[in-house]
Amino acid sequence: MGKPPPGKCFQELWFGLLVSFLLCLVLLCLNYSTSSGANNGIDLSMSKQVRPIGDMKINDTEDSCSDRYIYIHDDLPSKFNSDFLINCKSISAGISSSSIPSMCPDLLNLGLGPQIENSDGVLANESWFVTNPYLLEVIFHNKMKKYECLTSNSTLASAIYVPFYTGMDASVHLWDSNLTIRDSSAKNLVKWLSGQPEWKKMWGRDHFFVSGRTSWDFRRVRDNSSEWGSKLRFLPESMNMTMLSMEGSLWKNDIAIPYPTSFHPAKDIEVVQWQNRVRQQERPYLFAFVGAPRPHLQGSIRGKIIDHCQASTTCKFLHCGENNCHNPVNIIRVFQSSVYCLQPRGDSDTRRSAFDAILAGCIPVFFHPATAFSQYLWYLPKNHTKYSVFIPVRDVKDLKEEGIIEKVLQGISKDRELAMREEVIRIIAKLVYADPGSRLDTPDAFDIAVQGILERIENVRKVIREGRDPSIGFAEVDGTKFTFPDTID
């Protein structure tokens, strides 16, 4: 056969190249669809960095924990917390270091104490316990372990929680005449914290801890063994942290949160049932006082208040010096039977009794602004007249007039009384600490404390972002905090 013409060879060559190109293109498309299709059984985990489930974010707008993540210093040495629980037999259950039983029984039920099994019809359900208020730090820690927005990644955290049991430590060391021993835990704590990587993020201003004692127990001004307390809160590192305690101080980084009462509901319905119960309660007494005199405290009005109560046929008095107040049932029984409950200062400005009274639907009567008004700012209505009566008593002589308390209370109209009681009943839910093993839909005292601390720390971040000094105002003294107001409202 003869040779094909040159033009025909050229056409066949281009046709072959075109077919080859199309075949390659088809094969390439098939390979791509197989490798990048809708995860058809193919493990793509190696192509992404997977975050821990607790820290996972879809995006900031859909993350319910955005700006609410809290990191717990679980690596805190055990000598600052769990060792106290193990050695509870050697720790006092009260505020004194002598002749008081150990607090081991108080640690039952995650720090709530023994459950009250028989209340003689005074209490409503099974969520009542013999709770030691000085275990606030233990209760708070156990509730924090169940907090919905915990993170194991401290870089995501909006706040750093330090589970230091300051109150239990104080029960061991606070009465020691050797100041080196008394201050040793405080100094060791801040040394450890300031050495952690989390500290350098905001130099401790995003750190907080909780105390089951008043803040004054940690603010010893002078290094004199006769002076009360440790110097924890005056250590430079500690001044950069916020302390939540049952009683605040003049310093702005000490913030008061409620004393634990004996009611720790596990369900929202239990709160509602209790509120309905105290709303319908018959109250045969106009006012009541639960407590004991304080003859060793100069200027204490306790004795005068007891005199006023015992002189009145409309007042119910329960003397706590006769061990009648160790059983919460006795206290709630008295408060349930009274319209008003007198709340003078005790060993310090505040009293757990004020919260027991509110819990029982009894309208509290305060005599000093530092007992409640200037303390629990996250919890109580700003307008004090909505839920309480204020009888300003600057000195014992202000109560010398016989029957003055009874006259003031008798002068309150029935309509105002009912309105105040309704407000008292309304705020019960905010003042109780729910059972640490459960979570309520309604914010309790713990939830409000967490929200408050997050907002406080965010305000510090805002100051930093604006280029201002975050130390200004953070731990300063408010000299007017506990002074008598010019007006009651």
What pLDDT, in 10s, does the model give residues 167-205? 999 888 888 999 999 999 999 999 999 999 999 999 999
Report residue 123 as tokens.
Answer: 């209490």
Q: What distance in Å separates the CA atoms of residue 416 and residue 422, rounded to the nearest whole number?
A: 10
In the Cβ-directed half-sphere of 474, how many Cα atoms lie within 13 Å?
A: 31
Mean pLDDT of 36-65: 42
Q: What distance in Å separates the CA atoms of residue 85 and residue 78, rounded to the nearest whole number?
A: 10
Q: What distance in Å separates the CA atoms of residue 342 and residue 353, rounded to the nearest whole number?
A: 9
Q: What distance in Å separates the CA atoms of residue 475 and residue 469, rounded to the nearest whole number?
A: 12
Q: What distance in Å separates the CA atoms of residue 167 and residue 107, rounded to the nearest whole number?
A: 14
Report residue 150 as tokens.
Answer: 């915990």
Q: What kind of fold does domain 268-430 have according to CATH?
A: Rossmann fold (3.40.50)
333-342 residue pLDDT tens: 999 999 999 9
CB 439 within 8 A of CB 268: no
Domains of the chain, by residue range, sit at 70-260+445-466, 268-430
CB 367 within 8 A of CB 354: no
Phi/psi of residue 469, nearest 5 degrees: -80, 115
Phi/psi of residue 239, nearest 5 degrees: -65, -20
Q: What distance in Å separates the CA atoms of residue 380 and residue 375, rounded to the nearest whole number?
A: 9
460: pLDDT strictly greater than 90: yes
Q: What distance in Å separates the CA atoms of residue 211 and residue 170, rounded to the nearest whole number?
A: 10
Q: What is the pLDDT of residue 487?
A: 61
403: left (phi over 0), alpha (psi -120 to 50) or beta: left
CA 387 to chain centre: 22
Q: What is the pLDDT of residue 173?
A: 86
CB 354 within 8 A of CB 377: no
* Element holding 464 (H helix, E strand): helix 445-465
64-102 residue pLDDT tens: 999 999 999 999 999 999 999 999 988 876 655 444 577
Place of tokens 């005790």: 346
Phi/psi of residue 322, nearest 5 degrees: -100, 25
CB-based contacts of 106: which residues, under 8 Å, 6+ apart? 93, 113, 130, 131, 132, 135
Mean pLDDT of 139-163: 97
- The crossing angle, in degrees rounded to 10, of helices 136-144 and 445-465 is 80
Global pTM reads: 0.85
Confidence category of residue 295, pLDDT binned at 50, 70, 90: confident
DSSP assigned state of 92: B
CB 423 within 8 A of CB 397: no
Enumerate the β-bridge partners of residue 486: none
Nearest to 174 by CA among 224, 222, 218, 233: 218
CB 250 within 8 A of CB 205: no
406-446 residue pLDDT tens: 999 999 999 999 999 999 999 999 999 999 999 899 999 99
Q: What distance in Å separates the CA atoms of residue 295 and residue 321, rounded to the nearest whole number?
A: 12
CB-based contacts of 237: which residues, under 8 Å, 6+ apart? 190, 193, 194, 204
Q: What distance in Å separates the CA atoms of residue 168 and residue 171, rounded to the nearest whole number?
A: 5
CB 327 within 8 A of CB 129: no
Q: What distance in Å separates the CA atoms of residue 334 and residue 341, rounded to the nearest whole number?
A: 9
Phi/psi of residue 288, nearest 5 degrees: -145, 155
Report residue 162 as tokens.
Answer: 């330090």
199-248 residue pLDDT tens: 999 999 999 999 999 999 999 999 999 999 999 999 999 999 999 999 99
3-state secondary structure of 32: helix
Average pLDDT, the chain: 87
Q: What distance in Å separates the CA atoms of residue 194 and residue 236, rounded to the nearest whole number?
A: 11
51: pLDDT strictly greater than 80: no
369-379 residue pLDDT tens: 999 999 999 99
- The number of residues in the chain equals 489
Q: What distance in Å separates the CA atoms of residue 316 and residue 285, rounded to the nearest whole number?
A: 7
3-state secondary structure of 366: strand
Confidence category of residue 488, pLDDT binned at 50, 70, 90: low
> In the chain, pLDDT over 70 holds for what percent of residues?
84
Burial of 463 (0-12, 13-18, 19+ CB in 10 A): middle
